[in-house]
């Protein structure tokens, strides 16, 4: 990797939950800490990490949040006197060997699961919201029929059946209502660290689903204009738990408006993969469980 003079921060995540944080700069900095390790460890194999498809490049602010979740404070520069991991094979960060897992204390990575009961409750609530949305969509279509059985009723029935001149309009109303409520939104008090180019914006976390997130800031930012596309990653943290999730997807600002003393905005995620979706549910289950205490 070329020497840019700046330290690059990267994370490895299991179901969107970071388990290893690295800082790399060729040829003098190759250190990392893990969720279960107490100290920084030197590892020349980390020079290969920026080229691994499983690695996610994060900003210093996002890296500092990950470290804080593990009870550590992140400082600029490398740690002096860090022990070194002596390798006998090339690094493959997408498929760690047993020796590498032991060295980093990562034997349990890949085995952690969200609380089955918590996930079932969340999915059950999501199904109820989807059913309610479908009923609201049908109500919109029915309203077009007008009162009684006048001429408008026949037009609305044809539209509801996908036929007639209003079919596209009324089905659009229904699909829009369903789309808005398709993903269950859960209230989560916390922070969202949003990377925008070379800067990171920290906003208050209001609610979250696998489809997107709602945040609030004291003042509007020009980079958060409706329609703006953000490359990510997005690091989310909840106040009631030390759990963080890192979603390495693109996002789009769907809306923003001033409410009270702050500016609220909605961020729609690109389609999450199965691991990231599982991570969101794990995050929400943990936040809800801790928040009820």
Convert the pLDDT of each residue in 1-59 to its tens digit. 444 579 999 999 999 999 999 999 999 999 999 998 878 999 999 999 999 999 999 99
Among 227, 203, 224, CA closest to 215: 203
- Say if 56 falls within a structural domain: no
- Note down the domain range covering 164: 130-181
- Say if 246 falls within a structural domain: yes
Q: How many domains does the chain have?
A: 2
CA distances from 44 to 9, 50, 73, 86, 146 (A): 15, 12, 23, 8, 72
pLDDT of residue 261: 76
CA pair distance 14, 81, nearest whole angstrom: 29
- Does residue 191 sit in the same domain as residue 268? yes
pTM of the shown model: 0.75
State which of 166, 181, 196 marks the end of a domain: 181
- Does residue 169 sit in the same domain as residue 212? no
- Say if 229 falls within a structural domain: yes
State which of 142, 165, 181 marks the end of a domain: 181
Among 80, 136, 123, 131, CA closest to 282: 123
- Say if 91 falls within a structural domain: no
- Does residue 260 sit in the same domain as residue 174? no
Name residues whose C-beta falls within 8 Å of residue 211's C-beta, 6 or more positions apart in sequence.
182, 183, 268, 269
- Does residue 284 sit in the same domain as residue 268? yes
Taking residues 242-268, what's their average pLDDT?
A: 92
Taking residues 81-109, what's their average pLDDT?
A: 85
Residue 242 backbone phi and psi in degrees, to 5 = -85, 0
Judged by DSSP in three states, 62 sits in helix
pLDDT of residue 239: 92
- Say if 161 falls within a structural domain: yes
CA distances from 80 to 24, 40, 77, 125 (A): 14, 9, 9, 50
- Does residue 171 sit in the same domain as residue 192? no
pLDDT of residue 158: 38
Give the CATH number for residue 217.
Answer: 2.40.10.220
pLDDT higher than threshold 90 for residue 63:
yes
- Say if 99 falls within a structural domain: no
- Does residue 226 sit in the same domain as residue 271? yes
- Bridge partners of 56, per DSSP, are 11
- Say if 107 falls within a structural domain: no
The top-scoring range by mean pLDDT among 96-100, 222-226, 231-235 is 231-235
């Amino acid at each position: 990797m070329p020497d840019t003079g700046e330290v690059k921060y990267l994370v490895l995540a299991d179901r969107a939950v970071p388990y290893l944080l690295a800082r790399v700069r060729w040829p003098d900095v190759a250190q990392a800490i893990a969720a279960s390790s107490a100290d920084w460890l030197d590892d020349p194999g980390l020079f290969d990490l920026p080229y691994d498809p499983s690695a996610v490049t994060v900003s210093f602010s996002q890296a500092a949040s990950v470290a804080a979740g593990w009870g550590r404070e992140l400082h600029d520069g490398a740690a002096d006197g860090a022990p070194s991991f002596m390798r006998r094979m090339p690094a493959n960060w997408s498929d760690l060997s047993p020796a590498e897992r032991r060295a980093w204390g990562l034997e349990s990575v890949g085995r952690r699961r969200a609380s089955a009961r918590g996930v079932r409750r969340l999915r059950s609530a999501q199904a109820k919201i989807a059913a309610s949305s479908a009923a609201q969509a049908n109500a919109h279509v029915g309203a077009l029929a007008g009162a009684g059985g006048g001429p408008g009723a026949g037009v609305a029935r044809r539209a509801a059946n996908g036929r007639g001149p209003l079919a596209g309009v009324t089905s659009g109303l229904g699909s829009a209502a369903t789309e808005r409520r398709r993903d269950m939104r859960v209230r989560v008090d916390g922070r969202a660290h949003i990377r925008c180019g070379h800067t990171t914006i920290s906003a208050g976390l209001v609610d979250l689903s696998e489809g997107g997130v709602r945040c609030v800031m004291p003042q509007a930012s020009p980079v958060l204009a409706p329609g703006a596309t953000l490359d990510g990653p997005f690091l989310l943290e909840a106040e009631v738990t030390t759990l963080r999730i890192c979603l390495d997807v693109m996002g789009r600002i769907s809306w923003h408006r001033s409410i009270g003393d702050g500016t609220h905005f909605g961020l729609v995620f690109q389609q999450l993969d199965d691991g990231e979706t599982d991570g969101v549910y794990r995050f929400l289950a943990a936040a809800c469980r801790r928040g009820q205490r």
